[in-house]
Chain A
Amino acid sequence: MGAQIRELRQRIRSVESIKKITRAQELIATSRIARAQQYAEAARPYSQALVRAMEAAAERARLDNPLLEGVENPRRSAILVVTSDGGFAGAYSANVIRQSEALAGLLREQGQETVPYVVGRKGVSWFTFRGRELGGQYLGFTGRPSYADARGIADDLLEAINTPTEEGGVDEIHIVSTHFRNMVTQQVRARRLFPIMVEDVPEELHQAEAGAARTDNGGSAGSSNGRPARTDVLPLYEFEPSADEVLDALLPQYAGNLVYTALLDAAASEWAARRRAMKNATDNAGELQETLTRQSNSARQAEITQEISEIVGGADALAAAGSE
């Protein structure tokens, strides 16, 4: 009996210390979400200005860049998979990997090979355990990505897309990462980074400029991607030295920025997933602690009751022996 109580108390103590650890992890994760969001916020002015400049330059430059045009029959695709370095984040990495496998399956159906580029230790070990060949692996920064990290990844991806497919290059770049919608909802998204899906509006402007004075046929062919037509007209920029050169310089910066924002978004999501996982663990530890305390109390009570009945029994026996 005594042994059972001792065992229960031991378990209560260990559950308690686990609870303290998960609680601390939860608090850390909560503060990191806020910080990751600040970084994402700080990067926003750059993204916005970059997109505006891209629109202006793409409208005027010749569009024969592989990053813009793409090829007719893409044969190989790079998939950038953004997972986490650390665990304790619930199904965060598993969800991303599952989505990336689904995307890879889809691309294979279209007759494409896929090359995974993996961010985060969890993803890398998942792929290497299965003997998959990686195009690149990036470790050690998923909780706090810097622009230099994103630059390195973007440079590798650009090198791959600029290499002819016959020599191991790729035709398309996809990214699978987690989008931070709010503290409770994070969503795994698969997107194509390159070739860029050129918006319809500049295309129409192109045709208008070419002197095709036909009336717009209600956008039956044009606005297929559901974007509302933009009304603000871009200023007529003077390009220094030329639109093509500006665009050539812009594209790598744009790629770096896309990867950077995806990494920041994923970092915020990672911390949010970790916070939730740790909160659940803390709650479960609390419940377990309560159950174990109840068990220990009732075991202790049972022991006392038994002792009393032994004493009473003993006293009765003595009294019965004395009265004879």
Chain B
Amino acid sequence: MIVAEDLNVEVVAADRKVWSGAASIVIARTPEGEIGIMPGHEPVLGLLVAGPVTVRSTGGEAVVVAVSGGFLSVSENQIAILAEQAELAGEIDVAAAQADLDALDEDGDGAARWAQARLDVAASR
């Protein structure tokens, strides 16, 4: 029986570390649906789609991060979320995201999905 410890979470964008800390659960979106990871989870290397990643920190607060895709790796309670672009819900500039979305065609392009993900996360904060 694995003793439930805290998850050690790192959310990393290509050019900076967005968030790191201890958490009790991490919920992310993979191409096949949502995945929730709690302490003691088996090692996973999964793809992420653009959208929100929710990290419930041990303090009880929910940290929501918008990611542009990327992937997630879990091993021995170490979780790394790697996205080329990632922004904390509080950091998102709604006007800029909307402008990005308007400038792009809504054909499911990566940049458009990233803009939409930011808007969705910002709307739910």
Contact = CB atoms under 8 A, between A and B. Distances in A.
Interface of A: 39, 42-43, 45-46, 49-50, 52-53, 56-57, 146-147, 150-151, 235-241, 243, 245-246, 249-250, 253, 256-257, 260
Given A45-B17, A46-B82, A260-B15, A240 B10 contact: no
Given A235-B75, A245-B47, A42 B16 contact: yes
Contacts of A256: 14, 84
Contacts, number: 88
Contacts of B61: none
Contact of B32 (A238, A241, A253): A241
Nearest to B80: A49
Interface string B32-50: 1001000000111111000
Contacts of B80: 49, 52-53
Interface size class of B (residues with CB under 8 A): 20 to 34
Nearest to A44: B17
Interface in B69-119: 69-71, 73, 75-76, 80, 82, 84-85
11 contacts: A42-B17, A46-B13, A46-B15, A49-B73, A53-B45, A237-B75, A238-B43, A246-B46, A246-B71, A253-B14, A253-B82
A237 B82 contact: no
Nearest to B73: A53
B65 interface: no
B84 A253 contact: yes
Residue among B10, B35, B84 having the largest count of chain A Cβ atoms under 10 Å: B84
B14 A237 contact: no
B54 interface: no
Nearest to B15: A147
B8 interface: no
Contacts of B44: 237-240
Given A53-B73, A147-B84, A253-B84, A241 B47 contact: yes
Nearest to B32: A241
B31 interface: yes
